[in-house]
Amino acid sequence: MHQSNNKNTQTVAAFVLLLGMTFAPMLAQADDYASGVPSVTPYRPSVSTPAQLSAPGWLEGEFGGLRIRDTSAERRDSLLYTFKYAFSPDWGLRIGGEAQVRYNDGQGLRLTGGGDTALILKRRFAIDDASAFGLEAGANFATARTGLGTGSGKTDYSLAGIYSADLGDWHTDLNLIGTRFGQVGLGQNRWQSTWAASLSHPISENWGLVGELSGTYQRGAPSTSQFLAGFSYSLSKRTVFDFGAAAGLNRASPNWSAFGGVTVLLGDFR
């Protein structure tokens, strides 16, 4: 009975997320040209995040899907969500995770369920009109069933340093993240470092392009690295779609992944 209730809850969560991905852009576009309505600040689709926060007082949502494939026939599909709220131009909070995950190890094991949940506090330090530093302190809670989470299976804590800058028509985000895992395997260090460097550029009034290199290092575990390329499309200043793919650059990284999603303003809570 308990397992059946879990499956029902997961199905409802996935259905609600799909509804949000479908109808939020239309709702957001309705008053796109109303006075005082800000533009969204997408953190999707790259691994790195910018120092800039979303518009203060406005709730912003990000919804998407991610498909990961490996050479070993291992497959992982997930529905992602993030809610962002900035109290000021310099302080903000976000919560996110995976509403639904489907995993297949390619050898008969199949798992379905919700994923982990992350809570992150953000602080921005403006340098000038074109650049800023940022700090993020976060916790990743092991809300997923065994085998479906993105963390260690216990609560993990992280601290991220960010540098963002406009370089003419180009924009760069550089991230360095330290994560302390709640549990690790034999011979593994509790700390993992993640690095990411992205470069984005508008290619028309509505279209943008982003490229990124990222990777991880943890003593006692294989290092990973990948290259990501993605496109964004601004349907309106309140609604931005994205899609793209990433390729692993070494054997420890997933062979490839594909993604798509949307960032929308959900409401004014000032």
Question: pTM here?
Answer: 0.88
Q: Return the minimum-mean-pLDDT range out of 7-11, 14-18, 106-110, 221-225.
A: 7-11
Tens-digit pLDDT profile for residues 76-95: 999 999 999 999 999 999 99
**Contact between 269 and 56 (Cβ < 8 Å):** no
Phi, psi of 195 (to 5 degrees): -125, 150
**132: pLDDT strictly greater than 60:** yes
Within a 10 A sphere around the Cβ of 61, how many other Cβ atoms? 21
Backbone angles phi, psi at 5, to 5 degrees: -65, -40
Q: Give me the pLDDT at residue 184, please.
A: 96
Helix, strand and coil percent figures for the chain, each rounded to 5: 10, 55, 35
Return the amino acid letter for 252. Answer: A
Residue 15 pLDDT greater than 70, yes or no: no
Write the burial class of residue 88 (CB in 10 Å: 0-12 exposed, 13-18 middle, 19+ buried): exposed
Give the pLDDT of residue 8. 47
Cα(129)–Cα(258) distance, rounded to whole angstroms?
34
Residues 160/179, Cβ–Cβ less than 8 Å: no
The domain of 56 spans 2-268
Q: By percentage, how much of the chain surpasses pLDDT 90?
A: 81
pLDDT reading at 75 higher than 90 = yes
Confidence band for 22, pLDDT divided at 50, 70 and 90: low
Closest by CA to 148, choosing from 81, 103, 118, 214, is 103
The answer on pLDDT for 5 being more than 60 is no
Higher-pLDDT residue of 8 and 270 is 270
Is the pLDDT at 186 greater than 60? The verdict is yes
Q: What is the pLDDT of residue 236?
A: 93
Share of the chain above pLDDT 70, in %: 87
- Mean per-residue pLDDT for 49-68? 97
Q: Which two tokens stand for residue 83?
A: 């809610």
pLDDT digits (tens, 9 = 90+) for 90-116: 999 999 999 999 999 888 899 999 999
The count of structural domains within the chain is 1
Cβ within 8 Å of residue 77, ≥6 positions away:
65, 66, 67, 68, 101, 102, 103
77-152-155-193 Cα dihedral, nearest 10 degrees: -100
Please give the Cα distance from 141 to 26 (Å, whole number): 32
CATH number, domain with residue 232: 2.40.160.40
- At 147, the pLDDT band (50, 70, 90 cuts) reads confident
- Which of 13-17, 94-98, 178-182 comes out lowest in average pLDDT? 13-17
Handedness of CA 39, 202, 211, 193 (dihedral sign): negative
